[in-house]
Amino acid sequence: MHKVEDLKIWQKSMQLTKLVYKVVSDLPSDEKYGLISQIKRSSISIPSNIAEGAGRNSNKEFKHFLSIANGSSYELHTQLTLTVELNLIQKEKIQPVLSLIIEVQKMNYSFQKRLNNISNLNTQI
């Protein structure tokens, strides 16, 4: 088990979620139950799955939840890109969010790789 509050990827994904909430407040209110709801769910799913994985009993289980979090980050990226393509928000407004998503994705990939290396090392002992 990992202490989730100490994980940089969890901290960064919490920062991402808070930023997403601020950005979607600028979207039209008629999207409240459509795109806004989906965007919020995707963003919340990232730190939530990291936290759930951190509470699991093995690195293999943790990697599984990191993989789910990564999928949610791609879903979030797609939804935010769609808001720009639908002219609901300016790209400049969401660019910091998109950059943070990419940073979290890279952290996730690196963390999964590190967990995999630890698992491989343990099986060799």
Q: Supply angle C-alpha 13, 95, 10, rounded to 5.
A: 5
Give the pLDDT score at 62.
Answer: 94
Q: Each residue's pLDDT tens digit in the chain (125 positions)?
A: 679 999 999 999 999 999 999 999 989 889 888 999 999 999 999 999 999 999 998 889 999 999 999 999 999 999 999 999 999 999 999 999 999 999 999 999 999 999 888 766 555 54
For residue 52, give its domain range. 4-124
- Cβ neighbours of residue 68 under 8 Å, at least 6 residues apart? 45, 49
As a whole number of angstroms, the distance between CA 87 and CA 42 comes to 20
Cβ-Cβ contacts under 8 Å for 45 (sequence gap 6 or more): 68, 69, 72, 75
* Residue among 80, 70, 95, 100 nearest 40 (CA): 80
Secondary structure (3-state) at 2: coil
Give the single-character DSSP code of 31. G
Determine contact, residues 9/111, Cβ cutoff 8 Å.
yes
- Number of domains composing the chain: 1
Q: What CATH number has the domain bearing residue 116?
A: 1.20.1440.60
